[in-house]
Amino acid sequence: MRILVVGSGGVGDAVARIAARRKFFERMVVADFDPERAARTTRAANAGDTTYPPAPRFVAAQVDASDPAAVTALAREHGATHVLNAVDPRFVMSIFTGALAAGADYLDLAMSLSSPHPTQPHERTGVKLGDAQFAADDAWRAAGRLALLGIGVEPGLSDVFARYAVDHLFSEVHELAVRDGANLEVLDDDGEPVFAPTFSIWTTIEECLNPPVIWEAERGWYTTAPFSEPEIFEFPGGIGPVECVHVEHEEVLLMPRVLPARKVTFKYGLGAEFIGVLRTLHTLGLDKTSPVRVRSVDPAAPGAVAVSPRDVVAAVLPDPATLGARMRGVTCAGVLVTGLGTDGRPREVYLHHLVDNAWSMAEYGAQCVVWQTAVNPVIALELLAGEVWSGVGVQGPEAFDAVPFLELLGAPEPAGYGSPWALQERTPL
């Protein structure tokens, strides 16, 4: 297996650091628009790679992720069998298209972007997340290639949990309720908490300010208002109660395609401060992606320049990949499954995965949110390399057997990835 990773930000960097301990692939090319950032990642990965000395398995490259032809050319140059998209979802379709043209399988962490319904955005779906990719299913099947969508943590591990619950824990599923929360803090130089998103602010704005999608068997997919239906959810691992609200997320678009459930929802523990910041950005129009004309402050280049307001927000906030040393706390991803157990009695189970920032920094030099996202595509690639998972067409993680994935995730190193998951029984209402 020869892997092309497009993007060496927080997640792409963590992918390489995790993969350096595994034996299942021959080469990993880490490509970024900024060649020096890709080189930093490959230097760190090669330094931690004792699998195939002395020949380095990690190679840096430059690529424009918005150009499908550039992705195709780079994949062909290195004989890539698999392309992993580790950049913002605005580049999904160009990388997805480029991988197919190169004859490579494809994986991503988030799906093609949505567009709200033009007249009823908080009632009806418009273009849904992933619609553009699922529309290409026939082309991928005809080529005999696999496009595995949404194989991060959420979506990704949450979908694997849902498949496991359907297959092994329940005879009837009433709701697959993805619930994500944390007690993370980012500290300033004086040790005081400050506002700093721990994941891509571009992606966070996209998913939190778009109309959230809900699935019900009797209604199909429909939408509601951002941050609606707040609930207090009790998270394990010392996190405790966190207010969670509806946001747009891929699981709701993926799980119902394969898994039988009366309802599928996604709620995120954002916190009042974060919701307030997002509302302010929306009010000021700073969430917009369309460029606006701004007067240049550079005397050598007078006139106006076109900039995206959302890109400006991302530029002035710290890079989440650099925050690990300033972070403390635990992040939790999981699915609360309700329904009837295999004995026919009411059952409620929270399947979840916890990562402590102190552990991920000490072990991998990666902060916990990006590490928890990055470990899942690496596991999926290992299962594909061993033909434990296989398939063609456009599919999500819930289409595959969950057991080998969860066994690899939790098993101690070197057999597995040494990051156990857990199952918490809860009292049905």
Residue 387 near residue 349, CB atoms below 8 Å? no
Q: Using 50, 70 and 90 to split pLDDT, how confident is the model at 336?
A: very high
**Residue 36 backbone dihedrals phi, psi, to 5 degrees:** -70, -35
Q: Which residue has the higher pLDDT, 317 or 142?
A: 142
Q: Using 50, 70 and 90 to split pLDDT, how confident is the model at 140?
A: very high
Q: Is the dihedral of CA 251, 257, 260, 265 positive or negative?
A: positive
Q: How far is residue 209's CA from residue 225's CA, in Å, rounded to a whole number?
A: 9
**Residue 352 backbone dihedrals phi, psi, to 5 degrees:** -150, 165
- Judged against a pLDDT cut of 80, whether residue 224 lies above it is answered with yes
Q: Which pLDDT does position 192 carry in this prediction?
A: 85
Residue 150 near residue 108, CB atoms below 8 Å? yes
Which of 119-128, 208-217, 226-235, 289-298 is the least confident region?
A: 289-298
Q: How far is residue 325's CA from residue 76's CA, in Å, rounded to a whole number?
A: 38
Q: Which residue has the higher pLDDT, 24 or 298?
A: 24
Average pLDDT over residues 378-400: 98
- Judged against a pLDDT cut of 70, whether residue 196 lies above it is answered with yes
Q: Using 50, 70 and 90 to split pLDDT, how confident is the model at 306?
A: confident
Q: How far is residue 25's CA from residue 35's CA, in Å, rounded to a whole number?
A: 23
Strands (E) in 71-163, as ranges, are: 82-85, 105-108, 146-148
User: How big is the chain, counted in residues?
Assistant: 429
- Judged against a pLDDT cut of 70, whether residue 298 lies above it is answered with yes
Q: In the 3-class helix/strand/coil scheme, how is 288-328 assigned residue by residue?
A: CCCCEEEECCCCCCCCEEEECHHHHHHHHCCCHHHCHHHEE
Query: What would the two tokens of residue 168 be?
Result: 């092994």
Q: How far is CA 195 from CA 142, 272, 275, in A?
A: 48, 12, 12
> What mean pLDDT is reported for the chain?
94
For domain 157-368+422-426, say whether CATH 3.30.360.10 is its number. yes
Q: How far is residue 5's CA from residue 200's CA, in Å, rounded to a whole number?
A: 17
Average pLDDT over residues 269-290: 87
Q: Which pLDDT does position 371 carry in this prediction?
A: 97
Q: Which pLDDT does position 300 carry in this prediction?
A: 72
Q: Which pLDDT does position 158 carry in this prediction?
A: 98
- Judged against a pLDDT cut of 80, whether residue 293 lies above it is answered with yes
Q: Is the dihedral of CA 357, 196, 150, 366 positive or negative?
A: negative
Average pLDDT over residues 30-51: 94
Q: Using 50, 70 and 90 to split pLDDT, how confident is the model at 428?
A: confident
Average pLDDT over residues 307-334: 88
Q: Using 50, 70 and 90 to split pLDDT, how confident is the model at 52?
A: low
Looking up tokens 């034996």 gives 23
- Judged against a pLDDT cut of 70, whether residue 335 lies above it is answered with yes
Residue 38 near residue 62, CB atoms below 8 Å? yes
Average pLDDT over residues 125-131: 98
Sheet bearing 2-6, strands edge to edge: 58-62, 27-32, 2-6, 82-85, 105-108, 146-148, 393-395
- Judged against a pLDDT cut of 90, whether residue 209 lies above it is answered with no
| Helix (H) or strand (E) segment spanning residue 181 | strand 170-182
Which of 145-159, 266-280, 330-344 is the least confident region?
A: 266-280
**Which CATH architecture group holds 2-152+371-419?**
3-Layer(aba) Sandwich (3.40)
Residue 273 C-beta-side C-alpha neighbours within 13 Å: 6
DSSP 217: T
Which of 114-123, 260-269, 307-316, 325-334 is the least confident region?
A: 307-316
Minimal CA–CA distance to 286: which of 307, 316, 310? 310
Average pLDDT over residues 283-291: 89
Strands 146-148 and 393-395, bridge-based pairing: parallel
Which of 94-98, 289-293, 394-398, 399-403 is the least confident region?
A: 289-293
- Give the model confidence (pLDDT) of 350-372 as tens digits: 999 999 999 999 999 999 999 99
- Which residues lie below 8 Å from residue 119, measured CB to CB, with a gap of 6+? none
- Which residues lie below 8 Å from residue 49, measured CB to CB, with a gap of 6+? 20, 21, 56, 57, 58
Q: Which residue has the higher pLDDT, 252 or 205?
A: 252
- Judged against a pLDDT cut of 80, whether residue 50 lies above it is answered with no
Residue 210 C-beta-side C-alpha neighbours within 13 Å: 26
Q: Which pLDDT does position 75 carry in this prediction?
A: 98
The residues spanned by each domain of the chain are 2-152+371-419, 157-368+422-426
Q: Which pLDDT does position 54 carry in this prediction?
A: 66
Q: Which pLDDT does position 195 carry in this prediction?
A: 78
Average pLDDT over residues 219-237: 96
Q: Which pLDDT does position 53 carry in this prediction?
A: 65
Q: Which pLDDT does position 302 carry in this prediction?
A: 74
